[in-house]
Amino acid sequence: MAAGFATSGSAATKLNVPDTMAERVKPCVVCHGQGDRTGPNAYYPRIAGKPEGYLYNQLRNFRDGRRYNRPMALLLENLSDEYLMDMARYFSALKQAYPPPERMVSTPEEIKLARKLIDEGDSSRKIPSCRECHGKELMGTRPFIPGLLGLPRFYMIAQFGAWRSGGLMRRQSADCMSEIAKELTAQESNAIAAWLAAQQVPANTEPGTGLSNEMSRRCGIFQPQEAAR
């Protein structure tokens, strides 16, 4: 048990706080609570249920300055790789309800465009289908690709913009999502985001498995197994 103390006037009261991961990650839950949340200055995406490798990579990126967010960097600056993996496993195992789908705002032509890119991609521009990386059900691919359903349209549009501008990640080498986003037009990325946001999350929300070797090499995603080295 971890002991803490609280004072009320001149009296001190001993508090017994369980030494559990749920207690340790309470600062995370202040922002990333029971689902997606919009704060006064930011949007806080859900982290519950996302693949542990993806969460681990993001925690490392925030800690090491490859992805910039000052509050996140301060929270994580003294944490080891092993502890970040423990946090990732904890949040990955959480089950929380998803929000209902948004109203479809696209025209039939925009829906057709979105479906083609999501289901087939565009080989002439080296754009893979969304399903190739994010899984057949678009709920992610273990261990490091997040799902695309249950996210707000405006958040996905903002992510596309950040990938295109290079403002989301600071990497030494090219990133596959940055490369893909730069090939997409604004019309295409908006159509994709609108279609995805309007889809019902499937009953089985578990991420899939089996990212192709080609996409693994192309994306150069940091493998969570390296945390144990």
pLDDT at 229: 39
181: amino acid identity, one letter = A
Supply the pLDDT for residue 170.
Answer: 53
pLDDT at 18: 82
**Do 1-97 and 99-220 show the same overall fold?**
yes
Buried b (16+ CB within 10 A) or exposed e, 195-229: bbbbeebeeebebbeebeeeeeebbebeebeebee
Distances (CA, A) of 175 to 71, 150, 186, 197, 200: 24, 24, 19, 24, 29
What pLDDT is stored for residue 38 in this prediction? 60
Structure confidence at residue 96 (pLDDT):
84
CATH 1.10.760.10 correct for 1-97: yes
Note the pLDDT of residue 7. 46
Q: What is the pLDDT of residue 181?
A: 94
How confident is the model at residue 176, as a pLDDT?
Answer: 83
pLDDT value at position 13?
64
Pairing of strands 11-17, 2-8: antiparallel
pLDDT tens digits, the chain, 229 residues: what are they? 344 434 445 455 667 778 899 999 998 988 887 666 665 556 788 889 899 999 999 999 999 988 888 889 999 999 999 999 999 999 999 988 888 999 999 999 999 999 999 999 999 999 999 999 999 999 999 888 999 999 999 999 999 998 888 765 555 444 688 899 999 999 999 999 999 999 999 999 988 887 877 777 777 654 444 443 3
99-220 topology per CATH:
Cytochrome Bc1 Complex; Chain D, domain 2 (1.10.760)
**CA 164 – CA 189 distance, rounded (Å):** 11
**52-64 vs 81-93: helix axis angle to the nearest 10?**
140
CB 126 within 8 A of CB 36: no
The domain locations on the chain are 1-97, 99-220
Predicted model pTM: 0.78
Instruction: Quote the longest CA-to-CA distance of the chain.
Output: 73
Beta pairing partners, 5: 14
